[in-house]
Amino acid sequence: YHNYLFHLTGIRLAPKEKLDIPVLFMPHAMKIYKAEVVIHVMRENGENWPYEVSAESNEDLNSNFTIAENGGIQGILWIYPVHGMPEAPQQKLVVVQCRARQRVEQRVEMLVIGVMPGAAALPDARNSATVNTSKSANTQVHVTDGFPATVEFLYELQYQSNEIKSQLESLVGMQLVQKEWDTESRIVTLIFNVVFAPNKPMRSGATLVVQCATGGVWKFPMQFVATEPEVDDVINIEAVGLNKESIVGFKLTSQTR
């Protein structure tokens, strides 16, 4: 926790009135920042709320109340933990292109700039700000070669809508195959193997989201383009004469039920 303390005092609130508290986040490095917003409420007339504090509840109450000498409650505390997760600027668009009904396998390099290997690790799961897992499964990788400390990454492919997800999820596969760490520039290069096997012409977007355990989120926009497929066959119909029908037969096979 940083030793920055800001006080807002003398704010009067009527019953049922709302209080908006602005929180400004200006990160200087790609690491997790933590703070607490503490709301301390006391009666305007200075009187205490009467309450009998038992020995069993005294420890719990001290974290939520300020107790007066006479045993009453002098103030009530609301404590809101705030975790700031820096996000890198939008990265360059990566395009993966393939003809429909074919399969392309492509190596893609993602540069993760600004990793802080000496920063504190993520807090426990119930308080951490992690990559959203509702859109695709997370994959955790470790980068240890040349690092002063073990740095963990989470990555996932997020889609713009559920419709695009249902369209692309079974057609796209991503796997981290290599990671490199430049000790001078402090740039981590993550090399992914991307497989794209479209079944029809399309143009859809997705975002590869990479999160470092020490803090920081990097987003890499991706576009998957499927062009027109190759011609299946050429059908030649030979005329048998003027004003006479010529018939040729061919088979169509459905790929699904």
Closest listed residue to residue 65, CA positions, set 38, 84, 36: 38
203-to-57, 105, 132, 167, 226 alpha-carbon distances in Å: 61, 17, 24, 11, 6
Query: Please, is 52 exposed, middle or buried when counting C-beta atoms within 10 Å of its C-beta (0-12, 13-18, 19+)?
Result: exposed
Block means of pLDDT (10 residues each) for the chain, 257 residues, are: 55 87 88 88 85 61 72 84 90 93 94 73 37 45 55 88 91 90 84 94 94 89 95 90 91 82
Lookup: tokens for 93: 């668009």
pLDDT at 58: 56
pLDDT at 125: 34
pLDDT at 201: 95
Cβ–Cβ under 8 Å, residues 197 and 98: yes
pLDDT at 134: 38
What rounded mean pLDDT belongs to the chain?
Answer: 81
Q: Which residue has the tokens 């807002």?
A: 8
